Amino acid sequence: MARRLSLLLCVVTVLSGAAFAGSIPFSGSGSDGTLQTGQPFAYNFDNGIFEADWGVPGVGGGTAIWNGPTVGGFEVTFDLPEGVVIDPAMVSMGQTGDCVGGAAGGTAFCAQPYTAPWTATLIGTDTLLFTATPGNFLTTGDPFFVNIFFSGGDPNGASFSGSYTTVVPEPSSLILMGTGILGVATLVRRRIKL
């Protein structure tokens, strides 16, 4: 009976790991503001020195401090005016950059320790998906920044929506947690027999 209970606890633990996955939705409009997690955003924070842009905290504005749970992905969709698109050349540039920020780094999502920008995937002309590189998740208290550049005109504070994707625990963490619960169950069983 105790073995079955231990096995059941391990299965429940493994299955409950999936409950940690999810997303944090956000939306906004205007020249600046804050996202749901309290992160600041700004259009043309750099006063349009290079080309129209959107960023957290704002292109050339340094870094923001992440206030949410551990995340491994970020997606944002803009409602852009006719003819305005996310600049694909700047997305390509951001993939080869070194997280320096500003126009020199291109369109990029960078989180401490800034070893590499997250992988950026342009979906259509108005949506970007950023995915964390291995071991480069964004955790509470981490400095980070997001820079996105547009071409074809200025979005002038166009509305946007998106979400941060929270991280599912690694399989090794789940196995370790399951093993711990199995050990506790074994101890309880032994104490009951005594």
pTM: 0.77
Task: For residues 5-20, give the mean pLDDT.
Answer: 42
Read off the tokens for 44.
């043309």
Tokens 């480069």 belong to which residue? 136
Model confidence at 10, pLDDT cuts 50, 70, 90, reads: very low
Which H, E and C letters describe the chain, residue by residue?
CHHHHHHHHHHHHHHHHHHHCEEEEEEECCCEEECCCCCEEEECCCCCCCCCEEEECCCCCCCEECCCCCEEEEEEEECCCCCCEECHHHHHHHHHCCCCCCHHHCCEEEECCCCCCCEEEEECCCEEEEECCCCCCECCCCEEEEEEEEECCCCCCCCEEEEEEECCCCHHHHHHHHHHHHHHHHHHHHHHHC
- Is the CB of residue 48 less than 8 Å from the CB of residue 31? no
Which amino acid is it at 169?
P
> Among 39, 54, 64, which residue's Cα sits nearest to residue 85?
54
| Cα Rg, the chain, nearest whole Å | 21
- Is the CB of residue 74 less than 8 Å from the CB of residue 23? no
- State residue 101's pLDDT score: 83
Task: For residues 154-172, give the mean pLDDT.
Answer: 84
Range scoring the smallest mean pLDDT among 18-32, 51-65, 172-186: 172-186
Edge to edge, what strands does the sheet with 127-131 contain?
A: 22-28, 160-166, 71-78, 127-131, 119-123
- State residue 194's pLDDT score: 61
pLDDT by residue (tens digit) across 81-95? 999 999 999 999 999
Task: List 23's β-bridge partners, or say none.
Answer: 165
Residues whose CB is less than 8 angstroms from the CB of residue 99 and which lie 6 or more positions away in sequence, other chains included: 105, 108, 110, 114, 116, 117
Average pLDDT, the chain: 82
